[in-house]
Amino acid sequence: MTATANPRVSRSPRLRLTRALRGVATPAALLIAPMVLLAFMVFWPLLQQIWISLTDARLTNPGGGSFVGLENFEALMAGTALPQVLANTLAYTLGSTGLALVMGTLAALVVNTRFRGHGFVKGVLASPWAIPPVAAASIWLWMFSESRGIFNRIIEGAGGEPVAWLTSEPWAMVSVILVTAWQFAPLVMLVTLSALKSVPDEVAEASRVDGASAVATFTWVVWPHILPTFRLLGILLVIESLRRWDIIAVMTGGGPVMSTSTIVVAIQRQAFQYQEVGMGAAYAMIGITLAVIFALAYLMVERRAEKRNGR
Amino acid sequence: MAQSVTKGVDMATRNPLQRAAAGTAAVGLAVALAACTSSEGATDDGEGETAAPVTLANSQWLDAARGDALWDSVAAYEETGRGTVERVEIPNSEIETRLTTELGSGAGPDVMFVQDTVFLNFVDAGFLAPLDSAVEGAELNATNEGGVIDGERLGVAWQRAPFGFMYNAAILEEAGVEVPTSVDELIAAVETIEANTDAIGFGDQTPLAGHGIWTQGIDTWTYGAGGAWATEDGELTIDSPENVAGFEAIKQMQDAGIFASDDFDTMRMMFAQGQVAMMSDHAGGALISSLEGVVDPADIGVAPNPMPNPGYHEQLYVVVNQNSENLDAALDFVSWLVSEEGQLSVRGASGADPLATDVPISDEYAAQYPWAEGFLEIGQTTTGRLIPGHEMQTSQIMQTMLENLQLVLSSDVTSEEALATVQAEAEALG
């Protein structure tokens, strides 16, 4: 028997070090690529954005503005537009997210049952998600037309007065929320449907055998199963709503009287229409802060849920 | 032998660095080949070098009905044998942002056709090449005055588009109304037309719609009331009684419910289809109706706006990119454009808009489109959109103006209060 016959005996400190390094190097190498990507695609532009918000840069020379400190933010705080823009943003974001969650969940519950034409109905309900937002907004623009739109035709047919859907408050905001929720709802439906499929049949069946009503079964059996998915959808739609510009731009342009001017509409107007990129970036920083607040709120809720579930 | 083995090694056995280098070389070669073969449209400049076509960027190339005709009128430059041109189409809604960002990065088309507000932004950023040598000898008219900045010519007029009061004479006759000359008459005429015909009386969209057309449309009524946003030396007069009267005229129309709910483009198309009796538009709209619509061009009339004073015009300039690698050819194109030959070519396609020189419309054109003379006449007295002394802030001031006008139309805020707010905000802009 030689010394080399036993591998444990032959393992030298150098070999152990090599193996240890390999154990660290592999995950590090795997992390480097996404970190580099994040640095170039997210952190660097974000730093640029912060810098531009502290300058008086104009669109004609975005990188050439002079440092003005917090002047852009002070101007925003001193003006009357920011409070209205923030209120509009919250109304639009929470309105469209809430409505989409309700519509999408109801649609998911419907298509989760078996009936004749189930596949066709599911396809129809999912289709708004596939329509480009500008095209969707253009279609709804005609439907909301005060003089010739189908909604006012129906209202007038029923003896009512036509509504200025897109040119009066609060109907303009209601209209853009409706269209945005209509676009988001299919995503909610499809994801919620997957969550519903994960509810064990025997648990739901046991609930029904025990005499629970449909509402009670949903509340005590189904809902806890789909709640994490619902929360995730909520934050995704909030972020998506905060970013949504196209539907508002096509339907109302932010009006009337700024009543549908959300933060992205304000950014576009300031940076591209007025060509004040520095001020536009200041608006963008406020938008990013809003998104971060919503994301943190979501993480807190998730953490509490995990603690409650003992995970 | 070892050497031949190295030479014969295939891609699979090369190390990653070698493969990357080989790939880069292949891509570089392909790009070079593509560059060599993409000289379509280029011309020989007579010195053995191939001159690239002059790129011409204009949103009007996309205009329904007249876009192709306008392009053909400038492409006639190629018939001189001096060079070639290439069409760059940019939608109207994007042209300002796209050109600004392209020029800001040192790129962009050689020649651009832009509105006066955009022109001034480009001047401020130093994007434009002087045109003095290119227009030497040309008989430029007064529409070019705004193109000279600090004694240097940086733009020449492409078109001036005065907004007039366009009407369908057949519908007015059917309804038994005359062309209105005041807001009261306009409201009465709309009511009569809508009571007696199937047409929509007035095609101007309500200012409560958030879209941009009314940031200009306000001028029709405030200028029409004798107002101005500033004196010639730049003192702001936004809250003047004349401008208040202009706001009140708009409010009177809003309260009477005569504004349309659909957007400008839709109403323009409906006018062309004989479904709208009257609307504010420029000669381009009349030409589109004549070429594409069902309305007999002889039935299209134009009158001054139903206000005591003249309204406003849009002004488009031709400018040359300072960073153009094709600068000489671009300047040569401009030189041809303002020549008698170029102006005659453009006149045939641009309808009745005043051009850079006083080139008259032909008798044939005037006979075919009776409205043409009317627009030419209106264009003699209209005022531009730029606010003297505050040219760079015009867009921002007019957006604030529109938002405050909307407040007047939808709340208890008075015209005086609204205009005082705009005056204060405009003064704060500096």
**Interface size, chain A vs chain B, as Cβ–Cβ contacts under 8 Å:** 76
Model confidence band, residue A11 (pLDDT cutoffs 50, 70, 90): low
CB contact under 8 A, A147 and B200: yes
Determine, for residues A60 and B403 on separate chains, whether the beta-carbon distance falls below 8 Å: no
Residue B1 pLDDT > 50, yes or no?
Answer: no
Task: Name the band, by pLDDT with cuts 50, 70 and 90, for residue A33.
Answer: confident
CATH of domain B50-162+314-378: 3.40.190.10
Residue A76: the pLDDT is: 92
List of chain B residues whose C-beta atoms are within 8 Å of the C-beta of residue A167: 206, 208-209, 261
The CATH architecture annotation of domain B164-312+386-429 reads: 3-Layer(aba) Sandwich (3.40)
Only one residue has tokens 């957007």, namely: B263
Alpha-carbon distance B405 to nearest alpha carbon in chain A (angstroms): 8
3-state secondary structure of B65: coil
User: Is B125 close to A58, i.e. CB distance below 8 A?
Assistant: yes
| Residues B103, A253: C-beta atoms closer than 8 Å | no
Taking residues B22-26, what's their average pLDDT? 45
Q: What digits encode the pLDDT tens for the residues B246-297?
A: 999 999 999 999 999 888 888 998 999 999 999 999 888 898 888 887 899 9
Residue B112: is its pLDDT beyond 70? yes
CB contact under 8 A, B210 and A252: yes
Q: How far is A149 from chain B (nearest CA, A)?
A: 10
- Minimum mean pLDDT range among A12-26, A115-129, B217-231: A12-26
Q: What is the DSSP letter of B387?
A: P
- When pLDDT is averaged across residues A47-55 and rounded to a whole number, the result is 94
Among candidates A59, A254, A257 on the partner chain, residue whose Cβ is nearest the Cβ of B410: A257
Q: Ranked by mean pLDDT, which of A90-94, A111-115, A116-120, B13-17 comes out on top?
A: A90-94
- Is the pLDDT at B19 greater than 70, yes or no? no
Spatial distance between the Cα atoms of B274 and A142, rounded to a whole number of angstroms: 20
Is the entire prediction scored with pTM above 0.90?
no
Q: Which two tokens stand for residue B17?
A: 């660095």
From A60, A168, A256, residue closest to B104, measured CB to CB: A60
Q: Where do the structural domains in chain B lie, given as residue ranges?
A: 50-162+314-378, 164-312+386-429
Q: How far is B208 from chain A (nearest CA, A)?
A: 5
Closest Cα in chain A, distance from residue B229 (Å):
18
The pLDDT of residue B29 is above 80? no
Taking the Cβ of residue B206 and every Cβ of chain A, the question of whether any pair is shorter than 8 Å is answered with yes
The Cα of A151 is separated from the nearest Cα of chain B by a number of Å equal to 14
Assign B213 a pLDDT band (cuts: 50, 70, 90).
confident
User: Which pLDDT score is estimated for A148?
Assistant: 81
Task: Note whether B50-162+314-378 and B164-312+386-429 share their fold.
Answer: yes
B21 lies within 8 A of chain A by CB: no
Check if B208 contacts A (Cβ < 8 Å): yes
CATH says A80-308 is which class?
mainly alpha
Global ipTM: 0.70
